[in-house]
Amino acid sequence: MECTEWSGIALNHPARCEHRAPCEKFVAFEWTDSGRRFLGCGKKDVPKCNFVDWIYPEWPVQLKQALNTIWTMYEEESTNRLRQNVLNAEEVVKVMEEKRKMENDLRFFKVDFAKMVADKEDAITQLGNARLVISDPKEQIEKKNLADKSDTNIHQVLRAKAEKERDQEKEEKVKLVQEMDKIKQKSAMLLEEKEKWKQEKRHLEYTIGDLFKEKEATKGNIRKIKEIVDE
């Protein structure tokens, strides 16, 4: 974690890392060592070594237990959030795959339906032409009227069927849009909760910083008391 009071290269400290170079000042921010100052490798242009020289001693048992509990809660919550994000992503992928499948099925159905209508109209036309050739003019007129009426009925049936299928397609699209809206709402809620945890983390950092300041103040008071006693 960043600390303006303890940062930079410790030129006045005798500690040297494995590179035999002056060490850099760091403040730990991980599990039970959170807030402890230490010296580590200060090299920038080469791989860092594993040298660590703790400036602060280990925290009291009560503080270590509290830090361990807080970090455990944070890790569990982060894992749960990550798992939920994965589940939400899988759900989105599943919905998109179903949508793509529905669009493909609908496209094939439209092509087959158009071909069926065209074949039916062609067959009706050929049948009408054949009947006109083999019948007398009067019968031709009567049969042509019947054929036109039959053709009209067929078109009405096909039109009604097409309208029904179009309405069903609209309903399916509406349902799909509603599902996508739900997924967006879930994503927004996850983002809000993530921001909330970020704020709690910052609050934890401030709390730990206050503890360190109180510790420094306590050390200062102890030094003053010691000086008075020595006098």
Residue-wise pLDDT for 22-58, tens only, equals: 889 899 888 888 888 998 888 888 788 888 889 888 8
pLDDT recorded at residue 27: 92
Residues 161, 12: Cα–Cα separation, whole Å: 89
Host H or E run for residue 225: helix 137-230
Query: Is 81 within a domain?
Result: yes
pTM of the model: 0.36
Asked whether the predicted pLDDT for residue 1 surpasses 80, the reply is no
Strand order in the sheet with 37-40: 24-27, 37-40, 52-54
Q: Is pLDDT of 136 > 70?
A: no
At residue 46, φ and ψ (nearest 5 deg) are -135, 160
Q: Is residue 30 part of a domain?
A: no
Residue 172 in domain: yes
- Total tally of structural domains belonging to the chain: 1
Is 200 within a domain?
A: yes
pLDDT for 92 beyond 80: yes
Angstrom distance (rounded) from CA 43 to CA 49: 8
- Cα dist from 86 to 52, 82, 92, 230, whole Å: 37, 6, 10, 64
What's the rounded mean pLDDT across residues 202-223?
Answer: 75
Whether residue 42 lies inside any domain: the answer is: no
- Tokens 């983002």 belong to residue: 191
Q: What integer pLDDT is reported at residue 163 of this predicted model? A: 86
Polymer length of the chain: 231
Report yes or no on 8 lying in a domain.
Answer: no
- Percent over 90 (pLDDT), the chain: 1
Domain containing residue 110: 59-230
Task: Measure the CA–CA gap between 82 and 84, rounded to whole angstroms.
Answer: 5
The CA-atom distances, in angstroms, between 35 and each of 21, 59, 65, 198 are 24, 9, 14, 18
The confidence score (pLDDT) of residue 231 equals 67
Q: What is the mean pLDDT of residues 129-144?
A: 65
219 inside domain: yes
Q: Is residue 97 part of a domain?
A: yes
